[in-house]
């Protein structure tokens, strides 16, 4: 009770023994009467990680566990910020453990975390510390870093081949180094649309759509280099900064109104990171360019199929864009859009973010199945015949997942641009129109 305006400590009366029914127990049985501090564990690794710039919030976790059921990696393994935090409390060195490379920085844990424990900042900081500290790095990821540094793209392809996809587009594609001058839309194609066979098909479809819309657009051709945001998230911040310097120098040589890119990771970096480095551009994801323009297209065919959409994490949760892809799909005649159980804000991850695009071998050793396999199962369970995507990583990831799960005969994987181009008649219609 307060006495004289001050609270007084309660009077504790201890007895030597406690009578519980017919049993007599000594006072020592009750731990409340002894030291209850956590002395069994060494939390040095947790505190050391929290000292890294960007990783401070790992120490804010108070164990509510809301992050675990929404973590895509936990669905196929044992993961989640709460589980990592608990391991760190018990002497777990994250910088020297396979768990370091499993997080895809999808952002779903941050969406539900009441303490704002931010794995999107924590994991790149921890991975950078591992790289600079000489820790083991998965060989497949190390190879991507080397290819990116040497060739300017993750696939290790020659810059001279970057515009090779344009030859089969069926429409003229202006390359600014060859045809300089002002342009409205600069298409930043990125690596997988430039070099991967399935990505090239989507790039060619998008080129035909832009041609039909009469958009004034061009590409950088051999002068384009990857934005490198996924490499940054995988720990190579220095490489990202080098690329940003080179990319911004190239962009400064040309006059354009907007940058459009199919890659949500490039979109994220150009929109959110480049301004902090002094480089501001108007940036659109290609679905954001198309959404207000699809009403101008004259469709000659239809896509009479059930289609479900996978929301890319770096377009959706990271940048809040869920409607533009759906607007485009719903404009396609005959198409029936069905949603998966996990969509929009709670969309599942393809597994490609945060460097995961190049870590399938590592992930396979530490999870029950790949995230892409789990996702194609969900797409098939929705009753969809086509899984539509709007990120260059995802066509190849999900097609591989469909094959490995035996669903390739049930579920097609198509880029949104391919579906739109199909309803417009494809390359044949463009050739016929002259």
Residue 8 included in any domain:
no
Residue 169 included in any domain:
yes
Same domain, 238 and 322: no
Domain stops at, among 259, 293, 327:
293
Domain stops at, among 252, 278, 293:
293
Which residues face 428 on adjacent strands?
A: none
Same domain, 325 and 353: yes
Residue 245 included in any domain:
yes
Q: Is 338 within 8 Å of 384 (Cβ atoms)?
A: yes
Q: Is 162 within 8 Å of 221 (Cβ atoms)?
A: yes
Residue 107 included in any domain:
yes
Same domain, 119 and 147: no
Same domain, 341 and 414: yes
**Domain limits for position 326:** 299-423
Same domain, 417 and 384: yes
Same domain, 320 and 412: yes
Same domain, 160 and 270: yes
Structure tokens at 305: 């199929």
Same domain, 180 and 230: yes
What is the torsion angle, in degrees rounded to the nearest 10, for the CA atoms of residue 307, residue 398, residue 372 and residue 187?
-90
User: Residue-wise pLDDT tens for the chain (434 aa)?
Assistant: 455 555 566 666 656 566 666 666 565 555 555 555 555 555 667 888 889 999 999 989 988 989 999 999 999 999 999 999 999 888 888 999 999 999 999 999 999 999 999 999 999 999 999 999 988 899 999 999 999 999 999 999 999 999 999 999 999 999 999 999 999 999 999 999 999 999 999 999 999 999 999 999 999 999 999 999 999 999 999 999 999 999 999 999 999 999 999 999 999 999 999 999 999 999 999 999 999 999 999 999 999 999 999 999 999 999 999 999 999 999 999 999 999 999 999 999 999 999 999 999 999 999 999 999 999 999 999 999 999 999 999 999 999 999 999 999 899 999 999 999 999 987 777 777 76
Q: Is 249 within 8 Å of 279 (Cβ atoms)?
A: no
Same domain, 128 and 154: no
Count of domains forming the chain: 3
């Amino acid at each position: 009770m307060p006495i004289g305006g001050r609270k007084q400590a309660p009077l504790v009366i201890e007895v030597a023994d406690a009578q519980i029914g017919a049993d007599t127990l000594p006072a020592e049985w009750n731990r409340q009467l002894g030291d209850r501090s956590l002395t069994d564990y060494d939390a040095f690794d947790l505190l050391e990680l929290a000292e890294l710039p960007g990783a401070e919030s790992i120490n804010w976790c108070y164990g509510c566990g809301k992050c675990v059921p929404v973590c895509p990696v936990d669905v196929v393994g044992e993961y989640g910020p709460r589980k990592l935090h608990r391991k760190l409390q018990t002497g777990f060195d994250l910088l020297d453990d396979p768990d370091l490379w499993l997080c895809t920085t999808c952002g779903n844990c941050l969406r539900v975390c009441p303490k704002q424990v931010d794995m999107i900042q924590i994991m790149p900081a921890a991975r950078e510390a591992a790289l600079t500290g000489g820790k083991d790095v998965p060989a497949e990821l190390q190879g991507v870093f080397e290819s990116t540094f040497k060739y300017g793209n993750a696939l290790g392809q020659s810059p001279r081949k970057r515009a090779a996809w344009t030859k089969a587009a069926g429409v003229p594609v202006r390359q600014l180094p060859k045809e300089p001058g002002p342009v409205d839309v600069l298409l930043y194609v990125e690596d997988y649309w430039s070099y991967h066979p399935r990505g090239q098909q989507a790039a060619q479809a998008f080129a035909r759509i832009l041609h039909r819309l009469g958009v004034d657009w061009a590409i950088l051709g051999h002068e384009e280099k990857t934005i490198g945001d996924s490499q940054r998230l995988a720990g190579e911040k220095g490489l990202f900064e080098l690329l940003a310097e080179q990319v911004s120098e190239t962009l400064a040589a040309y006059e354009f109104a907007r940058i459009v890119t199919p890659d949500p990771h490039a979109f994220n970096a150009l929109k959110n990171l480049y301004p902090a480095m002094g480089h501001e551009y108007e940036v659109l994801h290609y679905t954001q360019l198309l959404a207000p323009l699809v009403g101008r297209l004259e469709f000659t065919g239809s896509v009479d199929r059930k289609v479900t959409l996978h929301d890319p994490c770096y377009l959706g949760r990271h940048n809040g864009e869920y409607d533009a892809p759906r607007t485009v799909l719903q404009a396609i005649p005959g198409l029936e859009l069905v949603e998966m159980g996990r969509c929009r804000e709670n969309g599942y991850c393809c597994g490609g973010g945060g460097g995961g695009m190049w870590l399938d071998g590592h992930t396979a050793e530490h999870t029950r199945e790949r995230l892409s396999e789990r996702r194609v199962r969900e797409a098939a369970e929705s009753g969809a015949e086509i899984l539509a995507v709007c990120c260059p990583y995802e066509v190849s990831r999900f097609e591989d997942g469909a094959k490995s799960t035996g669903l390739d005969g049930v579920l097609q994987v198509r880029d949104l641009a391919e579906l739109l181009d199909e309803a417009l008649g494809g390359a044949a219609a463009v050739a016929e129109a002259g």
